Amino acid sequence: EPNGTANPVLSICPEKLKQTKHSVTCCQFNSTADKLLATYNDEDIYTFDPKTGLSETRYSGHRNNATVKGCAWFGDQYIVSGSDDGYVYGWDSQTQHIVMSLYADENGVVNCIEPHPTAPIMATSGLDDDVKVWVPSANEWPQTMKGIKQRICANIKERQRSHRRLERLGDGFDRVDGAMDAAMLYEIIRHMRRRSRRRRNGLYMNTNSANNDNEEDDSEDTDSDSDADNGPQECIQS
């Protein structure tokens, strides 16, 4: 553009979200660029036809509220995303069914997810202080996803409660700011709990270390006293 500005050639949004303030937190083309994947704050994941802008499929079960979540194509057959419950979810892109669930963050949120471009390898990160790399090693497929129904139901209920709270605040309330404030408060509480656990663990380790040092000192004192009681050692003459 001559004036230094640019305009999009196409704006894409699911019809049901056009009158809402749900924000896009990540979008990605597939390998052939004929499908666009997008995930929305406190909503589902959608695929679009980039030529028409129409929504084609929808993927549910995770929760994208507390922080900015990424989503990605895992090949063209699967879709993966992080979640507020500390799990990585994977969907079959055709059936829209969840086929994978990995516990990936002890502190509760998986934010970033990056599949390898050619190999079946995936890296994830969240509130933990490490990056986790995943490779296929299961002897059986599909996985036995114990407890996934309860997690999905909990994620859906939490989202519904969040939506109702925002609706009760009325039209004069900026829902985006409200959602961000709630997310920020959630993160602050989580980090405070995390720091508290670390302090307790550090105090426990320091206490044990001090006790061990005292035991070593006592042992050395006992050995010294024993040597003193026995008197000076004489050399044996040959």
pLDDT at 140 over 50: yes
What is residue 230's predicted lDDT score, i.e. its pLDDT? 44
What is residue 203's predicted lDDT score, i.e. its pLDDT? 61
**Residue 50, preceding bond cis, omega within 30 degrees?**
no
What is residue 120's predicted lDDT score, i.e. its pLDDT? 92
What is residue 224's predicted lDDT score, i.e. its pLDDT? 44
Average pLDDT, the chain: 79
pLDDT in tens, 221-235: 444 444 444 443 333
What is residue 173's predicted lDDT score, i.e. its pLDDT? 38
pLDDT at 154 over 80: yes
What is residue 202's predicted lDDT score, i.e. its pLDDT? 65
Work out the end-to-end distance of the chain between its first and last CA atoms, rounded to an integer number of angstroms: 103
pLDDT at 36 over 90: yes
Return the structure tokens found at 230: 């026995």
Which segments of 93-218 are extended strands (E)? 98-103, 110-115, 122-126, 132-134
The mean pLDDT of 88-108, rounded to a whole number, is: 93
pLDDT in tens, 176-226: 444 445 555 555 565 566 666 666 676 655 556 555 555 555 444 444 444
Q: Which residues, other chains included, contact 160 with Cβ-Cβ below 8 Å and sequence gap of 6+?
A: none
What is residue 90's predicted lDDT score, i.e. its pLDDT? 95
Q: What share of the chain has pLDDT > 70, as a percent?
A: 68
Return the structure tokens found at 46: 């959608």
CATH of domain 15-179: 2.130.10.10
Return the structure tokens found at 105: 């963050």
- Measured distance CA(10)–CA(40) in Å, rounded: 18
Domain segments of the chain: what residues? 15-179
The mean pLDDT of 150-176, rounded to a whole number, is: 76
What is residue 169's predicted lDDT score, i.e. its pLDDT? 72
Is 85 in contact with 105 (CB distance < 8 Å)? no
pLDDT in tens, 74-93: 999 999 999 999 999 999 99
